[in-house]
Chain A
């Protein structure tokens, strides 16, 4: 197997808060190969976005990285490389699509300006050539009348159009890796489908790897080949996408799957996972999910479960793997 494009090893990001240290991302490891689409799934507050930001070393001020953490992209460690080298990676080789295009686009600059800026920052193209390229890119992501639209401000565009602009910004230099943080969450359902279709088309075209952060398992099923499920700052399950849906290994994954409404459950109450993600200052000892888990027993409170290899690409962080007889039905 070729070496991965991105390899994250023991990523730990913490903050000092009044309530004590918050270990928001706590020992996350995974890889993304060139051209692959990996989904990072979990509820709000479990560390998905912070993980994504750390991959570009864009953590908020006050965030502390553990010295053992490594994020290797194409052989270079992003967490220790000089600022200058990092800047030349950002936007060029690794790009990010943000959740909320309304706030991630600058309201005082035209959208064309913002797309062209990426080109101007990373290439020697003149302002006019960069602009032309931006307009071409806007047309490519399906913005009608792109030349005129490029001169408009974000507030003059619809939500779907704005997200297309974000995608144009991210993909204009054909990065090897695109990190998309909830790219469809802020959009209407019909627009969501269009944006996913666009991302798929762009992926076909450029062969980029995609790290898709989402809480929407529908999006996962449509886009990803491999899935990482995060809970309370940790990866609790890593699985090929078919296996995740057919044979989830972790009770949390099961809960997430059960919470997806389907046509046959429409008459019942929607299923939820009881409780919420605990605050990162106060992860429970042992298994972090045990307070919400239907199967938990004493071992779950005393031993933190390791990530256990179940199949070739299937890993699960749960004691049930070793003691399946404990499963309650």
Chain B
């Protein structure tokens, strides 16, 4: 596959996910939390009426998956945006200032990285009881910026020795302005790649937390909560596992493929610049 197509295919796939999620209220055959009024409160295998079957409360799984996509994707996008912002600020500042400040910042980061992220998340959700969605975003964002910070910092370390930084200084530009206007734009390729891979990571992480009952709370749907509803020995309700599971795998794969393709397409330009 050409480099262009390697980027285009996952980009289109991701766009499909986003369109499906945004269009959920119109595309879904039923409201996501509607329990059927006729009394059929049981999990049924796929039929023409419910192509992905129904869950133990008789709710349409397709509808819940479409609405769940909104939750899963927006949690991932928002928390990665937050992580990118925090990580870029921290990394850029540490790399720019350098010296002892930089060393201290990096050691702190080492400490943060030594604590497994899942452990922190489990602990926090245990302390919180049930997590409101915005708190979940906040938690995922505030535990997800370490890699961004390290990568941005190492980019900035290299960039601050470049001639154009010296030239900007020679024209009397303030340090903060040099950093934001002259240096940080060069970090974009790194940031876009890391963020894309971060989205994949966060989608999986949120699904895991929700599956454990610590992320998105019922009755709200996310792919992880639907999976949780399908927990039965012997795969008796396979449709509650296969469909959201497939969606999850596809979404994560798409983001990873996009991240890799972007990294490759940026590489030669970084050399040229």
Q: How far is the CB of B176 from chain A (nearest CB, A)?
A: 12
Determine how close the nearest CB of chain B comes to the CB of A156; give it in whole angstroms: 13
B167 and A105: CB pair below 8 A?
yes
CB of B163 within 8 A of CB of A100, answer yes
When the two chains form their complex, are residues A104 and B171 in contact, meaning their CB atoms are under 8 A apart? no
Taken residue by residue from 83 to 96, chain A's Cβ proximity to chain B (1 for < 8 Å, 0 otherwise) reads as 00001111110011
Contact partner of B185 (CB less than 8 A), chosen from A90, A100, A108, is: A108
User: Which residues of B221-273 have CB atoms within 8 Å of chain A's CB atoms?
Assistant: 272-273
**Number of residues on chain B facing chain A (CB within 8 A):** 20
Chain A 31-71 residues near chain B, CB threshold 8 A: 53, 56, 58, 61
Chain B interface helix/strand/loop/mixed: helix
B187 → A minimal CB distance (Å): 10
Name which of B162, B164, B166 has the most chain A CB atoms within 10 A of its CB.
B164
Residue of A nearest to B165 (CB): A106
Q: Does A72 contact B (CB under 8 A)?
A: no
Q: Does B119 contact A (CB under 8 A)?
A: no
Contact of A91 among B172, B186, B273 (CB under 8 A): B172
**B50 at interface by CB-CB < 8 Å:** no
CA A166 – CA B177 in complex, angstroms?
Answer: 19
- Is A58's CB under 8 angstroms from B166's CB? yes
Stretch at the interface among A114-122, A221-229, A245-253, A290-298: A114-122
Q: How far is the CB of B244 from chain A (nearest CB, A)?
A: 42
Q: Which residues from chain A contact B6 at a C-beta distance below 8 Å? A: none
A104: min CB distance to chain B, Å: 4
B163 touches A90 (CB 8 A): no
Whole-angstrom CA separation of A117 from B181 in the bound complex = 10
Q: Is A231 located at the chain interface by the 8 A CB criterion?
A: no
Q: A195 an interface residue at 8 Å Cβ cutoff?
A: no
Question: How many Å lie between the Cα of A166 and that of B170 in the bound state?
Answer: 12
A235 to B147, CA, bound (A): 50
Residue of B163, B171, B272 with most partner-chain A CB within 10 A = B171
Which A residues are in CB contact (< 8 Å) with B164?
103-107
Residue A289 is within 8 A (CB to CB) of chain B in the complex: no
Q: B181: which A residues are within 8 A, CB to CB?
A: 109, 117
- CB contacts (< 8 Å) of A208 on chain B: these are none
Task: Assess the B98–A169 pair: CB atoms within 8 A.
Answer: no
Q: Which residues of B contact A92 (CB under 8 A)?
A: 172
Neighbouring A residues of B162 by C-beta, 8 Å: 103
> Which positions 190-231 of chain A face chain B at CB distance < 8 Å?
none
When the two chains form the complex, which single residue of A56, A100, A117 contacts B173, counting CB atoms closer than 8 Å?
Answer: A117
Check B186–A98 contact: CB distance below 8 A.
no
Evaluate contact between A121 and B173: CB separation under 8 angstroms. yes
If the complex has contacts A61-B98, A106-B182, A109-B182, are A121 and B167 also in contact, measured as CB distance less than 8 A? no
Contact of B171 among A91, A100, A108 (CB under 8 A): A91
A89 to B173, CA, bound (A): 11
- B166, A108: Cβ atoms closer than 8 Å: no
CB of B240, distance to nearest CB on chain A (Å): 49
Chain B residue contacts of A169, Cβ below 8 A: 167, 171
Count chain A CB atoms within 10 A of each CB in B166, B167, B182, B273 and give the residue with the most.
B167
Indicate if B100 sits at the interface (CB-CB under 8 A). Answer: no
Whether A117 pairs with B171 at a CB distance below 8 angstroms is yes
B4 on the A face (CB < 8 A)? no
Least distance between A277 CB and chain B CB atoms (Å)? 23
Cβ contacts A282-317/B at 8 Å (1 or 0 each): 000000000000000000000000000000000000
- How far apart are the CA atoms of A106 and B170 in the complex, in Å? 13
Contacts of A61 in B (CB 8 A): 98
Smallest CB separation, A234 vs chain B (Å): 25
Cα of A103 to Cα of B171 in the assembled complex, Å: 15
Q: Which of B98, B167, B177, B273 contacts A107 (CB 8 A)?
A: B273
- Measured in the bound complex, the distance between the Cα atoms of B171 and A98 in whole Å is 12
Cβ–Cβ < 8 Å partners of B117 in chain A: none
**B186:A121 contact, CB within 8 angstroms:** no
A107 to B273 Cα, complex, angstroms: 6
Contacts of B185 in A (CB 8 A): 108-109
Partner of B170, one of A95, A105, A107, A109: A95
Partner among B98, B163, B182 whose Cβ is within 8 Å of the Cβ of A98: B163
Chain A residue at smallest Cβ distance from B182: A106
* B160 and chain A: residue at smallest CB distance: A61
Q: Tell whether, in the assembled complex, residue A104 and residue B166 are in contact, meaning their CB atoms are under 8 Å apart.
A: yes
Cross-interface CB contact of A95 among B98, B168, B171, cutoff 8 Å: B171
Q: Does the CB pair A89–B172 fall under 8 Å? A: yes
| Chain B residue nearest in CB terms to A115 | B171
Partner of B172, one of A100, A103, A122: A122
Chain A residues proximal to chain B, CB less than 8 Å: 53, 56, 58, 61, 87-92, 95-96, 98, 100, 103-109, 117-118, 121-122, 155, 166, 169
11 A-B pairs with C-beta separation under 8 A: A58-B166, A61-B98, A90-B171, A91-B172, A98-B170, A100-B163, A103-B164, A104-B163, A104-B167, A106-B182, A121-B171
Smallest CB-CB A-B distances: 4 pairs: A91-B171, A90-B172, A91-B172, A103-B163
**Known interface pairs A92-B172, A109-B181; 17 further A-B residue pairs with C-beta atoms within 8 A, sorted by A's residue number:** A53-B166, A87-B172, A87-B173, A87-B174, A90-B169, A96-B170, A98-B163, A98-B166, A103-B163, A103-B164, A104-B163, A105-B164, A106-B167, A117-B168, A118-B171, A166-B167, A169-B167
